[in-house]
Amino acid sequence: MKLNRIIKIKGKIEVLSGLHIGGSEGEMRIGGIDNTVVKHPYTGQPYIPGSSIKGKMRSLLEWKAGLVGFTEGSPVNAATLKKGSIEQQRLAREIAQIFGIAGTADDEKLARELGPTRASFWDCNLSPEWSEARIQRNELFTEAKAENTINRITGVALHPRQTERVPAQSLFDFTLTFRSLEGDDSALLSRVLEGLRLIELDSLGGCGSRGYGKVRFVALTQDGNDIQAGFEAIQPFGNVA
């Protein structure tokens, strides 16, 4: 098995609705925000962890492939590769090759068949042009969203809380690298792009059911070549009227 090249996919993540990926302040403050976002320890600026993109993409691809029922909610594992239809087994193997699966080191034959994890997801920092403009306007990098629960009978607001969000129109730099091995890896690379489209259709981060985390991938390139139009043409569920 030989590494032919490492493909780099770059672009921007445009936040379309407030984005919340949880972090920790490390201390409790009276009157402080209850649910903070993850921030860089040196700059204090919010960022999108690569693990958040990887986890959401993998979850959505597994749901779309109908594999979640075989794993009882856990990620695809070695046993999943032998369950379901032939098509589901093929998709499970692709997911394992892209994202890796735990325990393959204990199965040398399977580890050789799958090869190394293909995709690497890098942390996404705020785009300098966006953050610098924000600083020039003396604006904060995050917003506080007030929420509460309403009693259905009395109409009284209960349990008020504040959730920190990265505001809409924020821009993050996005980078994903893909290890291309000998043979044809085009199907795996297509699955990666499909996964990004699924994130666009769903959400990123927490509280997606409350309207948080709508994002869009823009200005996408693959090894410097523009792939945005082809990416936008991907229809994970076919053409839906």
3-state DSSP of 44-108: CCEEECHHHHHHHHHHHHHHHCCCHHHHCCCCCCHHHHHCCCHHHHHHHHHHHHHHCCCCHHHCH
pLDDT > 70: percent of the chain:
93
**pLDDT value for 150:** 82
Helix axes 50-64, 186-201, angle to 10 degrees: 100
pTM over 0.85, yes/no: yes
pLDDT band at 28 (very low <50, low <70, confident <90, very high): very low
Q: What is the number of other CB atoms lying within 10 angstroms of the CB of residue 38?
A: 19
Place of tokens 């239809």: 85
Give me 191's structure tokens. 């699955």
Which residue in 137, 218, 211 sits closest to 172, CA to CA? 218
Which residue in 87, 94, 74, 84 sits closest to 195, CA to CA? 94
Check residues 112 and 94 and name the one with the higher pLDDT.
Answer: 94
Tell me the torsion sign for CA atoms 36, 74, 209, 194: positive
Average pLDDT over residues 180-201: 93
Average pLDDT over residues 112-141: 93
pLDDT band at 30 (very low <50, low <70, confident <90, very high): very low
Cα separation, 199 vs 157, in Å, equals 33
pLDDT > 90: percent of the chain:
63
**pLDDT value for 201:** 96
Q: Rounded to whole angstroms, what are the CA distances from 185 to 3, 5, 6, 158?
A: 11, 11, 12, 53
Cβ 125 vs Cβ 171: under 8 Å = no
